[in-house]
Amino acid sequence: MASISKLSTPISAPSPFSSRNSRSSLPSNSFIAFRPSSDSCLNLFASRLSVRRSSHLTGSLVVKCSQGDGNGIPTKRTVLHDLYEKEGQSPWYDNLCRPVTDLLPLISKGVRGVTSNPAIFQKAISSSNAYNDQFRELVQSGKDIESAYWELVVKDIQDACKLFEPIYDQTDAGDGYVSVEVSPKLADDTEGTVEAAKWLHKVVSRPNVYIKIPATAACIPSIRDTIANGISVNVTLIFSVARYEAVIDAYLDGLEASGLSDLSRVTSVASFFVSRVDSLIDKLLEKIGTPEALDLRGKAAVAQAALAYQLYQKKFSGPRWEALVKKGAKKQRLLWASTSVKNPAYLDTLYVAPLIGPDTVSTMPDQALGAFIDHGTVSRTIDSNVSEAEGIYSALEKLGIRWSEVGSQLEVEGVDSFKKSFDSLLNTLQDKANSLKSASSH
């Protein structure tokens, strides 16, 4: 296939919604430390990520340790283990690059899955030499640039899937997934997205791969049809409760249309974006400028997420769902995406700590993951104050902020951002290919 895109809770926090508390003014020079390795994602993690420390801590924390694993062997245990074992939330890592073996220390710290997107691969491939040898071979064999891109990506996804397969097996297909996204050029192409999902699922050929499909209006039917084909899906770029409900219905419709007697291996997550919601709504609130409006800054995203969880509980109950459960169906878990804090005035765990609850996933990039490992607290928070969330949601509407318009704008921006990353990477690869050809001709 020449071109797939051408296919037809914080300590002492007063409330999970009280986000205007600044981070403590403590030394910011403690780092997450991992073993060094060349060309490593985790070297970047260690060198770039500065994590705030709680006031009662001294020294540089790596992890919080337990005494042993029962066999006299010291094991390092982090809050990520507690997050899963005590509250039923799976911590995933929102990043991927070579060598994928650099994920092993994170897996030992409790990470249970990986998400990727075009922006992540753009950064990984364009800033690393680890892809050069394979890319050179692909170019020399006559592969076009986009085909070469997909081969680079598929290798990373396959290798990462292998690392997480034990978790997938241990949880009976409940966890341990690695996500790869269809071309962002297909965001408005219903049939092309289905064909791309089939192709990616086939070439990756790993049981624990999630094919990412955006929750655009055109791709809602694609989600249904992909699920109906027995392919597990990570639905991405969800920015509103209304669109989220359409995503759930697409999943249920797909399961019912599959004709499978055993649905236990067809699973899904719904990636509900968080911090980007605050980034946009905060600007609207500042434009309004009243004390009431300014007081709502940094509260919209978590409030909407809490209401999404209420919808999740409602939709995955009752006769329709129970009929699917009898065939082995698993709930489509809510996944909190875009969990990095973009406003430095906010708590660095703002989009992780208030969104802890059973049957959910939190996918964290370096900043959020490091902050939560360092000083995160594990307790169920997602539905601890639903009435307050409803109040915030309504208050924003009364100020003239239309949730549907916010969702639509963020969706367009998200798709455009991924398209730009995709095009930028293809241009970078084309330049590399030209350099290789030039060098070989001299």
Token pair of 259 as six digits: 């004709």
- The answer to whether the Cα torsion of 172, 175, 176, 177 is positive or negative is positive
Token pair of 232 as six digits: 């597990």
Q: Is 91 helix (H, G, I), strand (E, B) or coil?
A: strand
- Tell me, what amino acid is at 8? S
212 is catalytic: yes
Q: Residue 22 contacts by C-beta under 8 Å, 6 or more apart in sequence? A: 345, 346, 347
Token pair of 316 as six digits: 């995955």
Which region holds residue 236: left if phi is over 0, alpha if psi is between -120 and 50, else beta? beta
H or E element in which residue 336 lies: strand 333-337
User: Using omega within 30 degrees of 0 as the cis cutoff, is the peptide bond preceding 99 cis?
Assistant: yes
Contact criterion met (CB below 8 Å) for 347 and 377: no
Among candidate residues 375, 365, 367, the one with its CA nearest the CA of residue 336: 365
| Nearest-5° Cα angle at 31, 25 to 35 | 175
Choose, from 123, 212, 299, 315, the residue flagged as catalytic: 212
Token pair of 364 as six digits: 């964290």
Q: Residue 424 contacts by C-beta under 8 Å, 6 or more apart in sequence? A: 122, 126
Question: d(Cα 4, Cα 7) in Å, to the nearest integer?
Answer: 5
Active site residues per annotation: 212
